[in-house]
Amino acid sequence: MDNAIILAGGQGKRMKADMPKPLFRILGEPMLEWVIGACEKAGISDICVVKGYKAEMIDEYLDGRYETVLQAERLGTGHAVMQAVSFLKKNSGSDTLVLCGDAPFIDSQTINDALARHRADGNSVTVITAELEEPAGYGRIIRSANGISSIVEEKDATAEQKKIKEINSGAYWFRTDDLIDSLNSLTTDNAQGEYYLTDTIYILLGKGKKAGAFISQNPDVVLGVNDRKGLLRLNKTARENIIEKHLENGVEFTCTDGITIGRDVIIGEGTQILSGTVLSGKTVIGEGCVIGPDCIIENSTVGNDTKLNYVQCYDSKIENNVKIGPFVQIRPGSHIKSGAKIGDFVEIKNSVIGEETAVAHLTYVGDSDVGGCVNFGCGVVTVNYDGEKKSRCTIEDNAFIGCNTNLIAPVTVGKGAYTAAGSTITKDVPADALAIERGDTRTVEGYAARKLRNRKKK
């Protein structure tokens, strides 16, 4: 089965942070994850990650999702692949993709198209290349009559070779067995004293095998990061590319200030995204919505024609025609059903809010199951935590929760029931009843006037 090796041993000294370079984030996700994502999307899930610098951080991040091998010292890209020989042997008879963990914009189309060329041409190795106006720093592709003859690193190149604009992206397809075979012949006889993976090209040619190049249509596949400025640049590129894609899909942006959209986010036609909005994770937004300004939506699903204004929403589901905001937090595990309205300074946590229900202002609904057409007055609190355990409240359809009600969970307010403003409800309220827990108002006649007189005397 086709498989991939991702080289992630590098440190990235110039990032000035103690972390393997592939773990630095683009739009909130490690570059390594972008590379893994491209493999998965291309149908390759048999992946081996070569770790080196701060290997334990790679382990912690991957959390056992993929096989890893340790490159104890960084002796070059060829040496990195040597560490994965047993992974390669397991995959004998197939083709192996080699990718850099710090070049996040490799895409599944490039991977698959390159493989098709690799197979059609009967190559032992196919290098994914790009043509750059400024090729400095990259390995240059030396072409031959029927393919390529070698890759020359910048530091080993002659002045003439440095003029070549076709460069090595650092991604390759190898016939697995030929890769295993060629690794044994690598030496450190070069300007950097490293085992260069790129030397496999002329080694394989020397064995009578074929080497070719696939020029990527996506020039971003070569983009990598060396320092913080580069990381910011790649974030900008990613951000712009993603917004471009959504524009093509019919999403509306009047400006893109502060808008960041994760690569897996799906947005329907005619939806407007306003400034300062950050959409991330597996978020799906329907059609005709207005999201923003300043919304943060993470791993959540939003239906059609919903308006979110200054909302933060995590791991939740919001249906159609819902209006939320401003200044609302929807915490994980919530489900806001169609037609609901949630107004300013409301927090909803791990709760269901039924259809057409209104929670207009200054309210906390946690661990609760709320039916349809319920009305919450201002300042309601579901008291879901007694200091030891959390309990749920149930509020049935058409109930009316008076202002400043405390509902001490577990408690149920039945269908159509009322709670009087200011009540602390500790017992279930039957359907259609009124629960009132409140001292009678006592009036002290003339109290204020007397007070005023006393003050004047002083």
Q: What positions carry a catalytic annotation?
A: 361
Site for ligand UD1 in 36-65 (CB under 6 A): 50, 52
**What is the Cα–Cα distance from 2 to 39, expressed in whole angstroms?**
10
DSSP letters, 143-166, are: EETTEEEEEE-GGG--HHHHT--E
- Contact between 268 and Ca ion (CB under 5 A)? no
DSSP letters, 291-332, are: E-SS-EEES-EE-SS-EESSEEEES-EE-TT-EE-SSEEEET
Report, in Å, the least distance between residue 97 CB and ligand UD1: 14
Token couple for 422: 């200011």
SS3 412: strand
Q: Total binding residues for Ca ion by CB under 5 A?
A: 1
Structural contact between residues 376 and 361, judged by C-beta atoms closer than 8 angstroms: no
**Which residue number, 79 or 335, has a Cβ lying nearer to ligand UD1?**
79
**What is the Cα–Cα distance from 12 to 225, expressed in whole angstroms?**
8
DSSP state of 350: S
Residue 238 interacting entry, from Ca ion, ligand UD1, none, C-beta within 5 to 8 Å by type: none
Binding residue for ligand UD1, selected from 5, 48, 179, 197, defined by CB under 6 A: 197
> Which stretch, 82-90, 185-193, 224-232, 315-323, contacts Ca ion (CB under 5 A)?
224-232
Report, in Å, the least distance between residue 307 CB and Ca ion: 45
- Contact between 224 and Ca ion (CB under 5 A)? yes
Structural contact between residues 323 and 306, judged by C-beta atoms closer than 8 angstroms: yes
> Which stretch, 70-78, 308-316, 403-411, 424-432, contacts ligand UD1 (CB under 6 A)?
70-78
Residue 263 interacting entry, from ligand UD1, Ca ion, none, C-beta within 5 to 8 Å by type: none
Binding residue for ligand UD1, selected from 167, 211, 261, 296, defined by CB under 6 A: 167
**What is the Cα–Cα distance from 5 to 10, expressed in whole angstroms?**
14
Structural contact between residues 287 and 271, judged by C-beta atoms closer than 8 angstroms: yes
**Which residue number, 169 or 334, has a Cβ lying nearer to Ca ion?**
169
- Contact between 168 and ligand UD1 (CB under 6 A)? yes
**HSE (side-chain half, CA atoms, 13 Å) at 168:** 32
- Contact between 80 and ligand UD1 (CB under 6 A)? yes
> Which stretch, 94-102, 255-263, 269-277, 444-452, contacts ligand UD1 (CB under 6 A)?
94-102
> Which stretch, 77-85, 270-278, 314-322, 396-404, contacts ligand UD1 (CB under 6 A)?
77-85
SS3 202: helix
**Which residue number, 76 or 224, has a Cβ lying nearer to Ca ion?**
224
> Which stretch, 195-203, 238-246, 274-282, 374-382, contacts ligand UD1 (CB under 6 A)?
195-203
Report, in Å, the least distance between residue 74 CB and Ca ion: 13
- Contact between 305 and ligand UD1 (CB under 6 A)? no
Instruction: Centre a 10 Å sphere on the Cβ of residue 341 and count the other Cβ atoms it contains.
Output: 19
* Maximum CA extent, the chain: 113
- Contact between 75 and ligand UD1 (CB under 6 A)? yes
Structural contact between residues 36 and 30, judged by C-beta atoms closer than 8 angstroms: no
**HSE (side-chain half, CA atoms, 13 Å) at 66:** 27
Residue 197 interacting entry, from Ca ion, ligand UD1, none, C-beta within 5 to 8 Å by type: ligand UD1
Residue 167 interacting entry, from Ca ion, ligand UD1, none, C-beta within 5 to 8 Å by type: ligand UD1
Site for ligand UD1 in 220-279 (CB under 6 A): 224
Residue 223 makes CB contacts below 8 A (sequence gap 6+) with 103, 104, 105, 234, 237
**What is the Cα–Cα distance from 191 to 276, expressed in whole angstroms?**
48
**Which residue number, 197 or 213, has a Cβ lying nearer to ligand UD1?**
197
CA dist 287 to 211, 248, 323, 339, 424, Å?
A: 48, 14, 14, 15, 41
Residue 74 interacting entry, from Ca ion, ligand UD1, none, C-beta within 5 to 8 Å by type: ligand UD1
**Nearest residue to ligand UD1 on Cβ basis:** 139
Report, in Å, the least distance between residue 230 CB and ligand UD1: 12
**Which residue number, 81 or 328, has a Cβ lying nearer to ligand UD1?**
81
Q: Which residues would be at the binding site for ligand UD1 (CB under 6 A)?
A: 7-10, 21, 50, 52, 71, 74-77, 79-80, 100-103, 138-139, 151, 153, 167-170, 196-198, 224
Q: Which residues would be at the binding site for Ca ion (CB under 5 A)?
A: 224
